Amino acid sequence: MAARTAVREREQAVVGGDGDGDSVTVTLYEGPYDGLEIDVERDDPDPWIAIITDGAPAGRALYAPGDDGIWRHRGHIPWGHL
């Protein structure tokens, strides 16, 4: 549980969520961060996030909302392609 909390705090810093009303908490589905809750900007015109993955495969896991509003894993960017 402490590890998940640390990851959430790190990712809040990445997307700028600070609970000030400009962000909303969403749950990520599928992929390496399935079930993680994260703050994202409420009115972002191009909503997606790329979260650093510490395990294999290393790189970034991409998440974006679908037409149904559910944030799902959309793919992976390996370190060599960043």
- Residues 18-27 pLDDT 10s: 445 699 999 9
Asked if residue 29 has pLDDT above 60, the reply is yes
CB–CB of 72/64 below 8 Å?
yes
CB under 8 Å, gap of 24 or more: what pairs does 13-16 form?
Answer: 14/49, 14/51, 15/39, 15/40, 15/41, 15/49, 16/41
Read off the amino acid at residue 18. D
pTM: predicted TM-score of the whole model, two decimal places = 0.69
